[in-house]
Structure 1
Amino acid sequence: MKYTVQVKVMPLKELLDPQGKAVMGGLSNLGLKAIEDVRIGKNITLQVEAPSVDEARQVAEEASKKLLANPVMEYFEVSVAE
């Protein structure tokens, strides 16, 4: 069966997000003062052929650990749509 898997990759909360800070500065310059913080990440969509939802999730988690996310600087979340 084919599953659509979303992988959300974000910088670790403990680390500075330079891209987010740059966007924050731009928003502030545009007068959008109500926005208090910006974090920039990646959203990756995978089409996974697997016999079950659990196996599709395992494939996506392995791909995330090995390639899609840098565990030193980022964390990831996997969600599977049936």
Structure 2
Amino acid sequence: MTDLRQALDDYLRLRRSLGHQMAEAAYLLPDFVTFMDLRGEQTVTIASALEWMRSREPEVITTVSPRRITAVRGFTRFLSG
């Protein structure tokens, strides 16, 4: 298990223990962590988050795009703490 994957598990467990359902983040963030692992990156950057979003929706930005970024923002706030 990579450091990011462990951090994601910790993040979801913590947020759920605080009463958040985290259904959308639990769906979106594992894909982001897999994307980061495949690129060999351990540090989340704005560029990597945007690249992940664009790789999932290359031509048309839908309403899912802002939710993807929101999920990553919450996760990165956790990582920075």
TM over 0.5: no
Higher helix share: 2
* TM-score between both structures, scaled by the size of structure 1: 0.31
Between 1 and 2, higher relative CO (CA 8 Å, sep ≥ 6) is seen in 1
Higher strand share: 1
> Over alpha carbons, which structure has the higher Rg?
1
* TM-score between both structures, scaled by the size of structure 2: 0.32
